[in-house]
Amino acid sequence: MKKFLTTPIGSIVKVYMSVLLGMIYADYKSNTLCLELVCLQTFLVGALFACFPMLINFFNPDYDGYGTKKEVKEAE
């Protein structure tokens, strides 16, 4: 499990779940807890939008924050 959470997909899952739980908790604290399909759909899509920056970085071939890093030879 520790290894999975260090991967790009694991990072997306961590952010997605954190935002989703945060949105549900905020809805609960506002005394209007809504667990109907319409409300849950809003929470799920909102959490997905929070993950967009990581998804863009994951699919960007020039972003070197994930995966193997290319070694750059120093000029002699």
pLDDT in tens, 2-40: 788 788 888 888 899 999 899 888 888 888 878 888 888
- How far apart are alpha carbons 30 and 53 in whole angstroms? 28
HSE (CB half, 13 Å, CA atoms) of 13? 9
The alpha carbon dihedral of 47, 50, 54, 60 has a sign of positive
pLDDT given for residue 58 in this prediction: 82
Q: How confident is the model at residue 76 (pLDDT cuts 50, 70, 90)?
A: low
pTM for the whole structure: 0.69
- How far apart are alpha carbons 26 and 30 in whole angstroms? 6
42 three-class SS: helix
Q: How confident is the model at residue 73 (pLDDT cuts 50, 70, 90)?
A: low
- How far apart are alpha carbons 5 and 63 in whole angstroms? 19
pLDDT in tens, 39-50: 888 888 989 899
